[in-house]
């Protein structure tokens, strides 16, 4: 594997994040003694609501800093589910995101579908997700196009499927969209945040969605920048009804109420 780019001043955030992920792989961060989960909920099958919300367990972010202290992840996850979360996304990235491997295990044991969010660069992370009981993993199209991962994107999707995992392929630039749609991904994520600059631009996300063929919008998930019901309305009008919501839910005094408000319940 050849990684183009190295950590340092001016290096895009995505490059540094993927290099850090590879270091975690080599350090054994994704190793665990958990038995391989034999049953798991299907993520795509779980996103059947009129407005489907994937609520995200994310204690920190590189742009917002500390968001919420997670002393009891199981209680927080239960509250999200009570509020109508159709699935749970879990950041397993430490440091900037405050993630921990055990958060994913706790979410998977809650009985809902779960998405592992990380900078996936290695099969070792897929194996970890499978052992933790995750339903799906997120793969960032740009990371593969930049040569930051061990395998090609289609190969990684195939490896994930072999392990019983679904795949959400994420794009945040329009020139990655066709690349993502042509894969065997189960879901396509459109991120309002550019992972190289960390710039947030919902209008850019809407422009990307406009390029998604109408026949593919049913499996499209909008990520980042969703704080309230009005933020999802433009996407609903475009035929997209699946949303990943992290900071707004984690920052809310009552995560359940925040989820209900976004769903319009």
Is 117 annotated in the active site?
yes
Is 191 annotated in the active site?
yes
Q: Is 41 buried (19+), middle (13-18) or exposed (0-12) by CB count in 10 A?
A: middle
4 domain-assigned: no
- By DSSP bridging, strand 60-61 and strand 52-57 are unpaired
74-97: pLDDT as tens digits: 999 999 999 999 999 999 999 999
Q: Which domain holds residue 148?
A: 13-27+42-263
CA distances (Å), origin 193, targets 118, 158, 160, 201, 247: 15, 27, 25, 6, 13
CATH of the domain at 81: 3.20.20.70
Q: Which of 96, 110, 148, 150 is nearest to 126 (CA)?
A: 150
**Calpha distance 111→78 (Å, rounded):** 10
**Calpha distance 235→243 (Å, rounded):** 9
Active-site position among 223, 241, 242, 263: 223
pLDDT at 3: 34
37 domain-assigned: no
Active-site position among 19, 56, 127, 166: 56
Is 242 annotated in the active site?
no
66 domain-assigned: yes
What's the structural domain count of the chain? 1
3 domain-assigned: no
pLDDT at 11: 84
Is 82 annotated in the active site?
no
At residue 138, φ and ψ (nearest 5 deg) are -100, 130
pLDDT classification of 208: cutoffs 50, 70, 90: very high
Is 201 annotated in the active site?
no
112-135: pLDDT as tens digits: 999 999 999 999 999 999 999 999
Is 170 annotated in the active site?
yes
250 domain-assigned: yes
220-255: pLDDT as tens digits: 999 999 999 999 999 999 999 999 999 999 999 999
DSSP tag of 68 = -
């Amino acid at each position: 594997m050849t990684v183009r780019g190295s950590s340092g001043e001016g290096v895009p955030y995505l490059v540094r994040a993927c290099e850090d992920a590879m270091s975690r792989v080599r350090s054994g961060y994704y190793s665990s003694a958990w038995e391989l989960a034999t049953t798991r909920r299907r993520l795509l099958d779980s996103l059947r609501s009129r407005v489907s919300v994937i609520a995200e367990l994310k204690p920190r972010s590189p742009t917002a800093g500390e968001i919420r202290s997670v002393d009891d992840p199981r209680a927080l996850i239960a509250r999200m589910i009570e509020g109508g979360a159709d699935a749970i996304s879990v950041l397993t990235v430490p440091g900037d995101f405050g993630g921990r491997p055990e958060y994913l295990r706790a979410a998977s044991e809650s009985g809902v579908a779960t998405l592992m969010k990380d900078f996936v660069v290695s099969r070792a992370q897929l194996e970890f997700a499978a052992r933790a009981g995750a339903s799906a993993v997120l793969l960032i199209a740009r990371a593969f196009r930049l040569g930051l991962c061990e395998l090609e994107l289609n190969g990684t999707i195939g490896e994930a499927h072999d392990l019983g995992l679904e795949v959400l392929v994420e794009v945040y630039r329009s020139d990655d969209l066709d690349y993502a749609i042509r894969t065997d991904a189960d879901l396509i994520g459109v991120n309002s945040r550019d992972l190289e600059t960390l710039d947030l631009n919902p209008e850019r996300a809407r422009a990307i969605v406009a390029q998604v063929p109408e026949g593919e919008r049913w499996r499209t998930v909008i990520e980042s920048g969703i704080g309230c019901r009005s933020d999802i309305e433009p996407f609903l009008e475009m035929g997209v009804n699946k949303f990943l919501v992290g900071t707004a839910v984690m920052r809310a005094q009552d995560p359940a109420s925040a989820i209900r408000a976004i769903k319009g319940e």
